[in-house]
Amino acid sequence: MNAETPQQAPRHVLMTADTVGGVWSHALELAAALTERGVRVSLATMGALPTPAQRAQAASLPGLQLHVSEWRLEWMENPWDDVRRAGQWLLGLERELAPDVVHLNQFAFGALPFGAPKLVVAHSCVASWWRAVHRQLAPASWDTYRRTVRQGLDGADLVGAPTEAMLSSLALDYGYIHGGLVLPNGRSAAMFAPGDKEPVILSAGRLWDAAKNVSALQAVATRLPWPVCVAGSASAPGAGEKSIQAPGVLWLGELAPDAMAAQFARASIYALPARYEPFGLSALEAALSQCALVLGDVPSLREVWGDAALYVQPEDHDALQTALMRLIDDAPLRQEMARRAAERARHFTPSRMADAYMSAYGRLLAPAASSRAGGAGRTRRKTKEAACAS
């Protein structure tokens, strides 16, 4: 397909999402932008049943149809029976709904024989998470997961990821060298706006996820003159009542979206010293709220934020303390970094995200893409075409 070939727009997309991570927010934001363009979205969820707040979010979007399940996800403990059943459920939904495109936000289902063309989006994965957090390859106990991910990638007609860094990791961790598209996330500014800024440092993330590196904030919080507040779940899926403790910081718990937006509005600094963060949706929300950003110095966050943040090595607690104190002590610098973050955040709009996804769907639906019928099974392009903001 050349640049002059008009792209075909889908009328109906079947999209998957999980309810226990950032993909939920991404999927709803994308679905809202797609439905505004007249695209009907059927959202199939798994991982856990949606909470009442999540159901209310979905119900507020006209043109979105929610299909719920609680099948375990491919990265959870002993998931494979659930993954198989979830696959059968999705194939049944496709037969019933007859979408134009199947948009998969998990890897495993890329190997399924859907009739519609398949986009697989790599939001994160265990292998790249393990390398970043443990500085070594994931152990042999994850070999089934690795094989499943590779089969899903091979079965896709097109592969995408929110950053070039995440897309590149697929070659390193799974030997997937067929390229794909950078499909950046987006967030509406309507919900995130600065309020009266207070002397508060905010962070958000699952306390049980070592990638978020909340422990670094715990290590420095008592040395700072401003309180450090952390929002997020303290219990891993399947952990029951067992939760992670967060001494040294003020743990806010898991907040509803409007309550989280209120915390962003009042915080002056947002700190995410992450070891691993394939895009960083919470940083985007903080930037839209005009928080100055202190982020982990990892390639994906550098790619997204450029000179609009201060960066620290995730394991260097002294550097984290120094960066936070710079912003605390220097109000003009803090205001300038907040301005830069907000300006950069305006590149990552739902409209631009929808443009990128509509282009990807159009490629799948183009007549040239039906080399699928000849058994190609996927679009093999070595060029990594970035649709992200400059």
Q: Domains along the chain?
A: 12-186+349-386 (3.40.50.2000), 189-345 (3.40.50.2000)
pLDDT tens, position by position, 254-285: 888 899 999 999 999 999 999 999 999 999 99
Q: What angle do CA 126, 318, 262 make, to 5 degrees?
A: 65
| Whether the predicted pLDDT of 225 surpasses 80 | yes
Q: What is the mean pLDDT of the chain?
A: 90
Amino acid in position 264: F
The maximal CA–CA distance of the chain, rounded, in angstroms, is 65
Is residue 124 predicted with pLDDT exceeding 50?
yes
Decide which of 139 and 1 is more confident.
139
Write down the H helix ranges in the chain.
Answer: 23-36, 52-59, 80-97, 126-134, 143-155, 164-174, 214-221, 257-266, 281-288, 299-305, 317-329, 331-345, 350-365
* Cα–Cα separations (whole angstroms), residue 186 to 27, 315, 340: 10, 29, 17
Distance separating the N- and C-terminal Cα atoms of the chain: 24
pLDDT (tens digit per residue) in 90-116: 999 999 999 999 999 999 999 999 999
What is the per-residue pLDDT for 205?
A: 83
> In the predicted model, is pLDDT for residue 222 greater than 50?
yes
DSSP state of 86: H
Exposed/middle/buried for 194, CB within 10 Å: 0-12, 13-18, 19+?
middle
pLDDT in tens, 324-356: 999 999 999 999 999 999 999 999 999 999 999
Whether 353 and 186 have beta carbons less than 8 Å apart is answered as yes
Residue 60 CB neighbour total at 10 angstroms: 10
* Residue 235: pLDDT band with limits 50, 70, 90: low
Residue 384, pLDDT score: 37
HSE value, Cβ hemisphere, 13 Å, CA-based, for 250: 10
121 token code pair: 């989006």
Residue 365 burial class via C-beta count within 10 angstroms: exposed 0-12, middle 13-18, buried 19 and up: middle
The secondary structure of 202-267 as a DSSP string is EEES-TT-GGG-HHHHHHHHTTSSS-EEEES--S-TT-TT-----TTSEEEESPPHHHHHHHHHHE
pLDDT in tens, 38-87: 999 999 999 999 999 899 999 999 989 999 999 999 999 999 999 999 99
pLDDT of residue 373: 44
Distance CA 200, CA 269 (A): 7
d(CA 344, CA 323): 20
Residue 341 in contact with residue 291, Cβ under 8 Å? yes
pLDDT digits (tens, 9 = 90+) for 279-314: 999 999 999 999 999 999 999 999 999 999 999 999
Mean pLDDT confidence for 181-204:
95
pLDDT digits (tens, 9 = 90+) for 140-162: 999 999 999 999 999 999 999 99
CB 316 within 8 A of CB 219: no
